[in-house]
Amino acid sequence: MNDPFSKTTVESARRTLTARFKSAGIDSAELDARMLAGAALGLDLTGLITATTRTLTHGEAICLENFMQRRLAGEPVARILGQKEFWGLALHLSPATLVPRPDTETVVELAWRVMGKLPRRDVPLRIVDIGTGSGAILLAILSELPNTFGIGTDISVAALTTASRNAARLGFARRAAFVACDYATALSGPFDLIVSNPPYIRSADIKGLPTEVRDFDPLAALDGGADGLDAYRRIAPEAARLLAPGGTLIMEVGQGQSGDVRGLMAAAGLKLRGPPQADLAGIQRAVAFQKRSR
């Protein structure tokens, strides 16, 4: 179909988009259509409802068709828009950053449960987010706990550039710093909280991932080695070295990895701290560990 959106109304464009996504088997067809139409036409949800009879301009029609073709080719909406909401924060993305997942909000919830109970101190709490990507976990925690200062690390300098810009745009520049290094090797502690959503997909499983992930998320953000646990092996002794006595490590884990990760942390002297946090699908997703107090 040529120029599917030429001289159509907002309502008809949204319907066409939804129908094309549905027939391509996209589960979130209606939501995707609303988000892409809203972005192409500069309309929020209310605008999409109230401006239904407005005719698209030529430029809008071309933009929307481009968005549609990209989505039909498997590109996620967040990649097309270049941003994703995480914990209520609008985070910009780049090709070097993972699209932050709703499941990862469990790490923030658990951090808030653990750290929110601590008495406020004169000295800010010191936090590290290992493999910060877009800065998602670190910035979400800084937004909840005003008395915190955090460092995000990543092996990807390009990801850190995006994270640092997100911190500045969201008003956290004075409480966030970013360091390029292998896990946390460039840091010296002590830290009160370490969080991480490391790569944890088994190398052999990468080729079977959905297109949206396999072809658009950076491989370095996904590949956890032969058994998916390489990053946990590296982070366990690093966390033990860097945590203050009584400090907490919170790790995101893949489905079924919680037991193995507990074993690796126990071997480094970090014991389980409270129950793991399940995601919306009921999968144990965030696990907290504690370094013994002296």
Residues forming a β-bridge with 55: 9
Q: Is 233 in the site for ligand GLN (CB under 6 A)?
A: no
C-beta separation of 57 from 64 below 8 A: no
Q: Is 222 in the site for ligand GLN (CB under 6 A)?
A: yes
Which residue number, 164 or 197, has a Cβ lying nearer to ligand GLN?
197
Please compute, for residue 41, the number of CA atoms within 13 A of its CA located in the half-sphere on the CB side.
30
Total residues interacting with ligand GLN, rule: CB under 6 A? 7
Count Cβ atoms below 10 Å from residue 189 Cβ, excluding itself.
Answer: 17
Q: Is 197 in the site for ligand GLN (CB under 6 A)?
A: yes
Judged on CB neighbours under 10 Å (0-12, 13-18, 19+), 85 is exposed
In angstroms, give the least distance from the CB of 171 to ligand GLN: 27
Q: Is 214 in the site for ligand GLN (CB under 6 A)?
A: no
Q: Which two tokens stand for residue 133?
A: 């990507």
What gap in Å lies between CA 68 and CA 210, rounded to an integer? 18
Q: Is 163 in the site for ligand GLN (CB under 6 A)?
A: no
Residues forming a β-bridge with 252: 286
Contacts for 25-30 with beta carbons within 8 Å, 24 or more apart?
A: 26/71, 28/77
The residue assigned the tokens 């699908």 is 281
SS3 205: helix
Q: Which residues bind ligand SAM (CB under 6 A)?
A: 98, 100, 104, 131-134, 136-137, 153-156, 159, 182-183, 197-199, 220-221
Which residue number, 150 or 224, has a Cβ lying nearer to ligand GLN?
224
Which range of residues in 41-49, 60-68, 158-166, 195-203 is near ligand GLN by CB under 6 A?
A: 195-203
* 201 contact, one of ligand SAM, ligand GLN, none, CB 5-8 Å limit per kind: ligand GLN
Among 101, 165, 233, 273, binds ligand GLN (CB under 6 A): 101
The rounded radius of gyration (Å) of the Cα atoms in the chain is 21
SS3 293: coil
* 137 contact, one of ligand SAM, ligand GLN, none, CB 5-8 Å limit per kind: ligand SAM
Q: Is 199 in the site for ligand GLN (CB under 6 A)?
A: yes
* 153 contact, one of ligand GLN, ligand SAM, none, CB 5-8 Å limit per kind: ligand SAM
Count Cβ atoms below 10 Å from residue 7 Cβ, excluding itself.
Answer: 11
In angstroms, give the least distance from the CB of 257 to ligand SAM: 13
Interacting residue ranges for ligand GLN, rule: CB under 6 A: 101, 197, 199-201, 213, 222
